[in-house]
Amino acid sequence: MHITRRPHFIEFGDCDPAGIVYFPRYLEWFDAALQNHFRACGLAKADIVSKYGFVAFPVVDLKVTYSTTSTFHEEVIIETTILEMRRSSFVIRHRLLRGEIVAVESIETRVWAQRRPDDETKFQGVPIPDEVRWRVGFQLAT
């Protein structure tokens, strides 16, 4: 199981009139952190697309705990790890850390999906390739 951590600087434009981070923004950062995590595991988007076609990872389930607010011009750490790989879905945990404090934690379930042949605007889950399992730190499904 691999863990990535990256520094994240909170911008003025991410905050609301109460002066705190507008809560949907965290999910944008976590989305970017997941893509960064894949790259760190040797799974750049371009490589995924060239091997497996256009793949999207729509979120199907999301649980977020906001323990403390943050404000602009703070530097925090976003920590990302994949907790579980299922047949065609996977579970990701993100944490926004301020020093020792877990300010926000999210548990996302996403589907490894491709466009449906009968309706290009919809996606359907497909089995996660073995190479992907292995690269993000899991054993092959047996």
Q: How many residues does the chain have?
A: 142
> 124 - beta bridge partners?
114
- Contact call for residue 25 and a copy of itself (CB under 8 A): yes
Q: Pick the closest to residue 21 from 113, 98, 88 (CA basis).
A: 98
The single residue of 16, 61, 118, 119 carrying the catalytic annotation is 16
* Smallest distance from a copy of itself to CB 49, Å: 10
- Contact call for residue 123 and a copy of itself (CB under 8 A): yes
User: Angle, to 10 degrees, between the axis of helix 45-52 and the axis of helix 24-40?
Assistant: 70
Is 61 catalytic? The answer is no
CB 69 within 8 A of CB 23: no
* Smallest distance from a copy of itself to CB 113, Å: 9
- Contact call for residue 35 and a copy of itself (CB under 8 A): yes
* Smallest distance from a copy of itself to CB 27, Å: 4
Read off the tokens for 133: 């399992």
Instruction: Round to whole Å and give the CA distance between 48 and 37.
Output: 13
Which residues contact a copy of itself by CB under 8 A? Answer: 11-13, 15-20, 22-25, 27-28, 31-32, 35, 44-46, 54, 56, 58-69, 71-73, 121-123
